[in-house]
Every structure is written in structure tokens, then in C-alpha cells.
Amino acid sequence: MRPILPFFAVAITLIACAAAGTSDSAPAAPGTAVPTVSDEGLAPSYPPSATEGERGVAIFAGGCFWCVESEYDDLPGVFAAVSGYIGGPETAPTYKQVASGATGHTEAVRVVFDPSVVTYEQLLDRFWKNHDPFRADAQFCDRGTQYRPGIFPLDADQREAAHRTKGEVAKRFGEDVVTEITDAGVFWTAEDYHQDFHHKNPGHYLRYRMGCGRDKRLKEIWGSSE
């Protein structure tokens, strides 16, 4: 088994995804593909659906949603990558509730994409290579069920692709892959200050990402050429 990333206790206390707090950044512009809200409002929910008209929808969880969102935000063919919560029974969970680990949700990202430009399989490939598939209830420096990695299929085709590629990863490394595959339930959009965090607060984002050892661990697993 590959060595587990050490926990940077002091640094992460200051810059971890779970300790971000609110931002002074202005709210996202209205009219975005998936609306966001402030702490004072309830996050809109999205019932499971693999399409929005001619657009495809995919949901992935790979630890702190800031870092998962940033991997898809600027990908050609992606209309929107939105941070939120999935996997728990609570209605309209807040960040503070989810961060406590008590709601059953995990931080996730809902990707709305153009299937004629980027396929679900390509989105899956990017997902696998940007999280640690060998750690359950934790990713990098973040620990707890709210950081468990997962794929949340929205139809039979997505479910088949998720299981097939999970098997390919397990075969490649000769290890059990703990990334969960669970049919999607309701996805709740996270508070506005979490959306596009890597653009709104690039300094904080980069300090967190480096301090959490995310890129170091990804290189250990996938190599520098991935």
C-alpha cells in the first residue's frame, strides 16, 4: 500500500477547506447555469437527472469541493461545475452541518456538460486522476465522512461506466478501491462563498491545496505524466 500522507496539523488548522469561513468576495453573478445562495438562504436542490435538455449532468466527490470544482471549471465542454452536498437524508443542509459529519452528506461537485464536446468517460478519467481512491472517509489532509470520495451515477450508463472504470483502477494498482459508487440522490448547492473559490480567493485556495498535500499525493499515486 502506498504511504499515507502525513497530517499537517498546524498549517491545516489555519487553511483547511473545513476552516474556511465566509469570504469577503462578491456573490456570483446572477443567471449562472446553477444558482447559488448565501448562508442566509436555503440552497436549491436538484433531483437526480442525467440530463438538462441537451446537456449532460455528472456528480463526483473527491474531498474538498473547491479542488474538485477547479478541475472541471475550465474544461472545454463544461457549462458549470458547482459545489454542493449529496448522500445524506437531511433537507437543505448548511455547510456547518455537513462539516460536522453528522448529516451523512459528502462534499461533491455537480458538473453540467456538453456531451458532444466532452464525454462522461472523459469526466470520469479526470475524476479518478484527481483524488485518492485508496482512502475512505478522508481525502488528503481532510478527514471525516463528509470528505469520502464517490461517484453518484444518474442513469444506467453512468453506473456501468463508474463500476467498469473502478475495476480498471483496482486492476492497475492491484489494490482495493474504496471510492463509493452510489446512485445519486438530491444534490444541494453549497453556499455562495464556496462557489468558484479558486477564482474568488486564489491565495487561500493555493495555500490550502499546498498545505493539504493534495498535489504531492496525486503525484505519488498517478505519476507526474498523468
With CA atoms as reference, report the closest residue to 216 among 4, 1, 62, 61.
4
Tell me which of 23-37, 62-76, 120-134, 186-200 is least confident. 23-37
Q: What is the structure's pLDDT at 3?
A: 44
pLDDT digits (tens, 9 = 90+) for 52-70: 989 999 999 999 999 999 9
Retrieve residue 55's grid coordinates: 446537456
Residue 31 predicted with pLDDT over 50: no
Q: Give me the catalytic one of 64, 67, 141, 212.
A: 64
Tell which phi-psi region holds residue 115, choosing left (phi > 0), alpha (psi between -120 and 50) or beta. alpha
Residue 34 lies in a domain: no
Residue 26 lies in a domain: no
Three-state DSSP class for 139?
strand
CA distance 103 to 137: 14
Residue 163 lies in a domain: yes
Q: What is the structure's pLDDT at 17?
A: 76
Residue 31 lies in a domain: no
Residue 39 lies in a domain: no
CATH code of the domain containing 51: 3.30.1060.10
Q: What is the structure's pLDDT at 44?
A: 84
Residue 19 binned pLDDT confidence (cut-offs 50, 70, 90): low
Residue 2 lies in a domain: no
Instruction: Tally the domains of the chain.
Output: 1
pLDDT digits (tens, 9 = 90+) for 89-122: 989 999 999 999 999 999 999 999 999 999 999 9
Residue 165 lies in a domain: yes
CA distances from 165 to 127, 151, 158, 161 (A): 11, 11, 11, 6
Residue 30 lies in a domain: no
Q: Is 64 known to be catalytic?
A: yes
Look up the domain containing 103 and give its range: 9-21+44-222
